[in-house]
A = this chain, B = another copy of it.
Amino acid sequence: MVFSKSFGYALRSILYVVMINENQSRVQIQEVADNLQIPKHFLGKIMKMLAKEKIIDSVKGPFGGFSVNDGTTSIPLIRLMELTDGLEQFQECSLRLRKCNADKPCPMHHRIAQNRNELIAMFSSTTVGDLIKSDDKDFIYSI
């Protein structure tokens, strides 16, 4: 249950852009990379992908940068995961024997299936916006 670097970078960057956009119209890669300590060129690829997928908007040139759009905060986490890690890890058997299947369970299946389904449910029902609306905003200092 440790996700890819790309997933963490993508999620944290989106949260950063959402929050900065409350006061400032655009955010540049350099600023995100500096503040979140993410390798700049690697982040560029991730944000380019997020823009292509219309999760955020981007503008080139002077005074350009990235900004949120109407859909940004309603993106479910599982959609982000799909883009960065793929959804295989949610469908695959934990021992990588095949597609996870209760009718042909692997030795771990019955001990892990419920835990796993809870994780899938959380990822499906939680949106980027939910993370920000959260009562507990401690995390903001950890974006």
Chain A contact surface mostly: helix
Q: Is the CB of B2 within 8 A of A107?
A: no
Q: Which of A97-141 contact B (CB under 8 A)?
A: 97, 104-112, 115-116, 118-119, 122, 126, 131, 134, 136, 138-139, 141
Q: Mark A11-34, 1 if CB is under 8 A from B, else 0.
A: 110010000000000000000000
Copies in the complex: 2
A53 to B96, CA, bound (A): 24
Q: Which of the residues B111, B116, B126, B136 comes within 8 Å of A126, measured between beta carbons?
A: B111
> Which residues on the B side are within 8 Å of A143 (C-beta)?
107
For A112, list chain B residues within 8 Å (CB): 1, 119, 122
| Contact stretch, chosen from A42-50, A61-69, A87-95 | A87-95
Complex A-B: 18 CB contacts under 8 Å: A1-B94, A1-B116, A1-B119, A2-B89, A2-B92, A2-B94, A3-B95, A8-B94, A8-B96, A12-B107, A15-B107, A104-B141, A109-B139, A111-B131, A112-B122, A115-B115, A115-B119, A115-B122
